[in-house]
Structure 1
Protein backbone atom coordinates (compact mmCIF):
# COMPACT_ATOMS: atom_id res chain seq x y z
CA UNK A 1 0.00 0.00 0.00
CA UNK A 2 1.51 3.28 -1.08
CA UNK A 3 1.47 6.47 0.88
CA UNK A 4 -1.23 7.98 -1.33
CA UNK A 5 -3.44 4.92 -0.80
CA UNK A 6 -2.99 5.11 2.97
CA UNK A 7 -3.84 8.83 2.97
CA UNK A 8 -6.93 8.19 0.84
CA UNK A 9 -8.04 5.39 3.18
CA UNK A 10 -7.54 7.64 6.20
CA UNK A 11 -9.57 10.42 4.55
CA UNK A 12 -12.39 7.98 3.76
CA UNK A 13 -12.46 6.84 7.37
CA UNK A 14 -12.52 10.43 8.65
CA UNK A 15 -15.32 11.45 6.24
CA UNK A 16 -17.64 8.73 7.47
CA UNK A 17 -20.27 9.83 9.94
CA UNK A 18 -19.49 8.80 13.49
CA UNK A 19 -21.55 5.99 14.98
CA UNK A 20 -24.55 7.19 16.99
CA UNK A 21 -23.93 7.62 20.68
CA UNK A 22 -26.54 6.10 22.99
CA UNK A 23 -28.35 8.79 25.03
CA UNK A 24 -27.72 7.04 28.34
CA UNK A 25 -23.98 7.05 27.60
CA UNK A 26 -24.08 10.82 27.11
CA UNK A 27 -26.00 11.36 30.35
CA UNK A 28 -23.58 9.14 32.27
CA UNK A 29 -20.56 10.98 30.85
CA UNK A 30 -22.05 14.38 31.78
CA UNK A 31 -22.87 13.16 35.29
CA UNK A 32 -19.38 11.78 35.85
CA UNK A 33 -17.75 14.88 34.40
CA UNK A 34 -19.70 17.22 36.65
CA UNK A 35 -18.90 15.07 39.68
CA UNK A 36 -15.18 15.06 38.84
CA UNK A 37 -15.24 18.84 38.31
CA UNK A 38 -16.99 19.31 41.65
CA UNK A 39 -14.43 17.16 43.47
CA UNK A 40 -11.55 19.02 41.84
CA UNK A 41 -13.04 22.35 42.84
CA UNK A 42 -13.38 21.21 46.46
CA UNK A 43 -9.83 19.81 46.48
CA UNK A 44 -8.49 23.09 45.10
CA UNK A 45 -10.32 25.12 47.74
CA UNK A 46 -9.02 22.84 50.49
CA UNK A 47 -5.50 23.17 49.14
CA UNK A 48 -5.69 26.98 49.15
CA UNK A 49 -7.19 26.91 52.64
CA UNK A 50 -4.34 24.69 53.83
CA UNK A 51 -1.74 27.00 52.25
CA UNK A 52 -3.38 30.03 53.84
CA UNK A 53 -3.51 28.33 57.25
CA UNK A 54 0.13 27.28 57.02
CA UNK A 55 1.14 30.83 56.05
CA UNK A 56 -0.74 32.34 58.99
CA UNK A 57 0.73 29.75 61.37
CA UNK A 58 4.24 30.48 60.10
CA UNK A 59 3.73 34.24 60.49
CA UNK A 60 2.38 33.88 64.03
CA UNK A 61 5.25 31.56 64.99
CA UNK A 62 7.83 33.92 63.49
CA UNK A 63 6.37 36.91 65.32
CA UNK A 64 6.28 35.14 68.69
CA UNK A 65 9.51 33.12 68.52
CA UNK A 66 11.56 35.76 66.65
CA UNK A 67 14.04 33.22 65.24
CA UNK A 68 16.18 35.97 63.70
CA UNK A 69 17.13 37.41 67.11
CA UNK A 70 20.17 35.93 68.84
CA UNK A 71 19.17 34.31 72.16
CA UNK A 72 20.56 35.87 75.32
CA UNK A 73 23.68 34.37 76.80
CA UNK A 74 23.07 31.88 79.63
CA UNK A 75 26.45 32.44 81.29
CA UNK A 76 27.87 35.67 82.62
CA UNK A 77 31.04 36.91 81.00
CA UNK A 78 34.25 36.56 83.02
CA UNK A 79 35.74 39.63 84.79
Structure 2
Protein backbone atom coordinates (compact mmCIF):
# COMPACT_ATOMS: atom_id res chain seq x y z
CA UNK A 1 0.00 0.00 0.00
CA UNK A 2 1.20 3.46 -0.74
CA UNK A 3 0.77 6.48 1.54
CA UNK A 4 -2.76 7.68 0.62
CA UNK A 5 -4.19 4.15 0.54
CA UNK A 6 -2.76 3.40 3.97
CA UNK A 7 -4.22 6.63 5.34
CA UNK A 8 -7.63 5.91 3.84
CA UNK A 9 -7.59 2.41 5.31
CA UNK A 10 -6.70 3.83 8.73
CA UNK A 11 -9.52 6.39 8.54
CA UNK A 12 -12.01 3.67 7.51
CA UNK A 13 -10.84 1.51 10.42
CA UNK A 14 -11.26 4.41 12.85
CA UNK A 15 -14.76 5.17 11.53
CA UNK A 16 -15.86 1.54 11.91
CA UNK A 17 -15.10 1.58 15.63
CA UNK A 18 -18.03 1.85 18.06
CA UNK A 19 -16.87 5.03 19.76
CA UNK A 20 -14.28 7.48 18.47
CA UNK A 21 -10.77 7.36 19.85
CA UNK A 22 -9.84 9.98 22.42
CA UNK A 23 -8.15 13.11 21.14
CA UNK A 24 -4.68 13.62 22.64
CA UNK A 25 -4.53 16.41 25.21
CA UNK A 26 -1.48 18.04 23.62
CA UNK A 27 -2.93 18.11 20.09
CA UNK A 28 -3.33 21.89 19.88
CA UNK A 29 0.20 22.80 21.06
CA UNK A 30 1.74 20.19 18.73
CA UNK A 31 -0.31 21.40 15.76
CA UNK A 32 0.58 25.01 16.55
CA UNK A 33 4.28 24.18 16.81
CA UNK A 34 4.14 22.30 13.50
CA UNK A 35 2.40 25.23 11.82
CA UNK A 36 4.95 27.70 13.16
CA UNK A 37 7.80 25.49 11.93
CA UNK A 38 6.25 25.17 8.48
CA UNK A 39 5.70 28.92 8.21
CA UNK A 40 9.27 29.60 9.32
CA UNK A 41 10.66 27.17 6.73
CA UNK A 42 8.54 28.61 3.94
CA UNK A 43 9.54 32.13 4.88
CA UNK A 44 13.24 31.16 4.90
CA UNK A 45 12.91 29.40 1.55
CA UNK A 46 11.13 32.44 0.06
CA UNK A 47 13.83 34.79 1.37
CA UNK A 48 16.58 32.55 -0.01
CA UNK A 49 14.84 32.40 -3.41
CA UNK A 50 14.45 36.20 -3.62
CA UNK A 51 18.05 36.71 -2.48
CA UNK A 52 19.28 34.29 -5.13
CA UNK A 53 17.16 36.03 -7.76
CA UNK A 54 18.48 39.49 -6.85
CA UNK A 55 22.09 38.27 -6.83
CA UNK A 56 21.60 36.66 -10.24
CA UNK A 57 20.09 39.85 -11.68
CA UNK A 58 22.89 41.94 -10.20
CA UNK A 59 25.61 39.64 -11.57
CA UNK A 60 23.94 39.57 -14.98
CA UNK A 61 23.82 43.38 -15.01
CA UNK A 62 27.45 43.56 -13.98
CA UNK A 63 28.47 41.10 -16.71
CA UNK A 64 26.46 43.01 -19.31
CA UNK A 65 27.97 46.34 -18.32
CA UNK A 66 31.52 44.96 -18.48
CA UNK A 67 31.36 42.89 -21.69
CA UNK A 68 28.81 45.00 -23.60
CA UNK A 69 27.52 42.09 -25.72
CA UNK A 70 25.33 44.42 -27.81
CA UNK A 71 28.33 46.03 -29.52
CA UNK A 72 29.60 44.64 -32.79
CA UNK A 73 33.00 42.98 -32.42
CA UNK A 74 35.82 44.62 -34.38
CA UNK A 75 36.30 43.26 -37.85
CA UNK A 76 39.32 41.14 -38.48
CA UNK A 77 41.81 42.66 -40.87
CA UNK A 78 43.44 40.59 -43.52
CA UNK A 79 47.10 39.78 -43.07
CA UNK A 80 49.52 41.99 -45.00
CA UNK A 81 50.41 40.82 -48.46
CA UNK A 82 54.07 39.97 -48.79
CA UNK A 83 56.17 39.02 -51.79
CA UNK A 84 53.91 40.55 -54.35
TM tier, smaller: 0.5 to 0.7
Residue-pair matches, total: 60
TM-score (norm 1): 0.66
- In the other structure, the counterpart of 1:34 is 36
- C-alpha displacement at 1:50, in angstroms? 0.3
- In the other structure, the counterpart of 2:54 is 52
SS in 1 for 2:72: coil
Structure 2 unaligned regions, length at least 5:
1-21, 79-84
Structure with more helix by fraction: 1
CA RMSD of aligned residues (A): 2.1
CA distance in 1, matches of 2:68, 2:26: 62
TM-score (norm 2): 0.63
> Which runs of at least 4 in structure 1 moved beyond 6 Å after TM superposition?
none
Structure 1 unaligned regions, length at least 5:
1-19
CA deviations 1:2-55 (Å, max 9, x no partner) are: xxxxxxxxxxxxxxxxxx854311111000000000000000000000000000
